[in-house]
Structure 1
Amino acid sequence: MLRGATSISIDSKGRIAIPKRYRQWITEQCGGLFICTIDHQFSCLLLYPINEWEHIEAKLATLSSLHPAERRIQRLLLGHASECEMDGQGRILLSPTLRQYAHLQDKIMLVGQLNKFEIWSDVLWQQQIELDINLQAEDALAQSSRLSELSL
């Protein structure tokens, strides 16, 4: 499983190094092949191991291209989807379009989300975490039954 938040650098060519603790698992699970796309709700990227992305594609394929909202999701996620293969040094190359969308420069955050990574600019990540903490405090009384069952 992919978990934890790691501060990493992005080089001038748009390459990021996957932290060593994930590399063996990623190689075993997906041969080092990823799909990177935009997050349609936040200014970050989603990086899926190829086997996980195939599940997402199967779900997207069930959406109707005649329904405007469903077509938008297909257009955004599939239209921005880009293959990224991990090289021998554990790096992947992010396309310029994806880097621009997520405002990626210098320091970024790689955030494990069980079956995928989120890739955030360091600045936007800090802003999002602050917002999430504030919203969580406000929503504490109105938690969903599923959240209250977690007993965190």
Structure 2
Amino acid sequence: MARRFRGSEEVKVDAKGRVSIPAKFRRVFEASDPDWQAGKRAQLVIVYGTRDWNWLQLFTIEAMEEIEEGIARMPRGSAARNLLENIYQGHADEAEIDGDGRLVLPQKLREKIGLTDSAFFISAGDSLKVWTPEAYAEEERALEARVPELEPGADPLSLLAPAAAKDEG
């Protein structure tokens, strides 16, 4: 199983759109890039999605290959396949982390999400989401409102499906 991202970080964005990728996140990109080796630049895919997305999603190469394999199994010409191809292939750019551990976010993507002087990274399993700190603060409040079955003060792990019984044979 591929390594997963964990945690969140707020980082500065310079005038050229460069953001430093925290070391703990760089290690996941490196480990999940089948072509990476010491001295090379880790590759990733930036998905900027549909016009209503106000975040960017940074996928590892392995995660993007898994998504593309899933899309390829869908019926050609289906509305669902067309939508997923549009989002994850048509609204995506390949990128790399430079030798100083930075990622250049193109101006059109920074403008799309309103990114100026700081970015907020939040882990999403096999990807990282990039938000403005202000937009993420709003999203975090909205997340709780979208899960009506979670009572105030309840353990969020109660949302997980029960584990399947292990075979004792």
AA aligned to 2:48 is I
Q: 1:65 to 1:148 in 2, by over 3 A?
A: closer
The structure with the greater share of residues assigned to helix is 1
1:71 aligns with 2:82: yes
1:44 aligned residue (50, 55, 66) = 55
Hey, what's the Cα distance between the residues in 1 that align with 2:87 and 2:24? 31
The equivalent of 2:11 in structure 1 is 8
Q: Is the 8 A contact 2:46 2:95 kept in 1?
A: yes
Hey, what's the Cα distance between the residues in 1 that align with 2:6 and 2:27? 15
Could you list the per-position Cα deviations for residues 40-89 of structure 1 after superposition, in whole angstroms to 9, with x for gaps in the alignment? 57421110111221111111223344223431221122112111111111
Hey, what's the Cα distance between the residues in 2 that align with 1:132 and 1:16? 26
1:128 aligned residue (139, 142, 145) = 139
User: Which secondary structure state, in structure 2, belongs to the residue aligned with residue 109 of structure 1?
Assistant: strand
Aligned structure 1 segments of 4 or more residues deviating by more than 6 angstroms: none
Hey, what's the Cα distance between the residues in 1 that align with 2:49 and 2:122? 13
TM-score for the superposition, normalised by structure 1: 0.82
Q: 1:62 to 1:96 in 2, by over 3 A?
A: farther
Q: 1:130 to 1:69 in 2, by over 3 A?
A: same
Computed over aligned residues only, the root mean square deviation of the Cα atoms, in angstroms, reads: 2.6
How far 1:116 sits from its partner (Å)? 0.8
Hey, what's the Cα distance between the residues in 2 that align with 1:115 and 1:93? 20
The alignment covers a number of residue pairs equal to 148
Hey, what's the Cα distance between the residues in 2 that align with 1:88 and 1:54? 24
Hey, what's the Cα distance between the residues in 2 that align with 1:73 and 1:101? 20
2:149 aligned residue (126, 133, 139) = 139
Hey, what's the Cα distance between the residues in 2 that align with 1:4 and 1:48? 15
- Report % sequence identity: 23
- Name structure 2 gaps, 5 residues minimum: 37-41, 164-169
Q: Is the 8 A contact 1:63 1:71 kept in 2?
A: no
The equivalent of 2:107 in structure 1 is 96
- Name structure 1 gaps, 5 residues minimum: none
